Structure 1
Amino acid sequence: MVIVSDRQYRQLLTAAVAKRSREVQDIVYNATPLTRILRDQGRISVKRAGGPELRIPIEFDKLQAQWFTGYDKIEITPKELLNSAVFNWSRVVGMFSLTGTELLYTRGEEEVIDLMEFYINAAEKSVKEEFETSIVGDGTGSGGRQMIGFGGAIPIVPNAGTYGGISRVDVANWRTSTFDVTTDFPDIGSTWDSTTARPIIERISLNRSRNGQYADLLIADALSYQAISASFVAHQRLMSERAARLGFAGLAYHTPAGLVDIVAAGGVGNVMPANTIFGIDTQSLAIYEFPGQSFVPFHPGDGMRPINQDAIAQGIVWSGQMVLENPLFSYRLITA
Structure 2
Amino acid sequence: MWCAAATTTTTDTAVAPHPIEVPESALEDLRARLAATRWPRPETAPGQGPRLRALQDLCAYWAEGYDRRRCERDLNSLGSSRTVLDGTGIHLLHVRSPEPGARPLLLCHGWPGSVLEFRRMIGPLTDPVAHGGRAQDAVHVVVPSMPGFGFSDAPSGTGWGVQRIADAWISLVHRLGCRDGWFAQGGDWGAAVVDAIGRTPDSGCAAVHFNLPMVFPTEAEVEAATEDEQRVLGRARLYATEQDGCARVQATRPQTVGYALADSPVALAAWVLTLFEDVTDRRERPAAGGPGPTPAGSSVFPAEAVQASRRWVERRCATVLHHAHLDRGGHFAALEQPDLLTEEVRATFRGLRLG
TM range (shorter): under 0.3
Which of structures 1 and 2 has the bigger CA Rg? 1
In terms of fraction of residues, the more strand-rich structure is 1
Higher helix share: 2
> Higher relative contact order by CA 8 Å / sep ≥ 6: 1 or 2?
1
TM (normalized to structure 1)? Answer: 0.27
TM-score (norm 2): 0.26
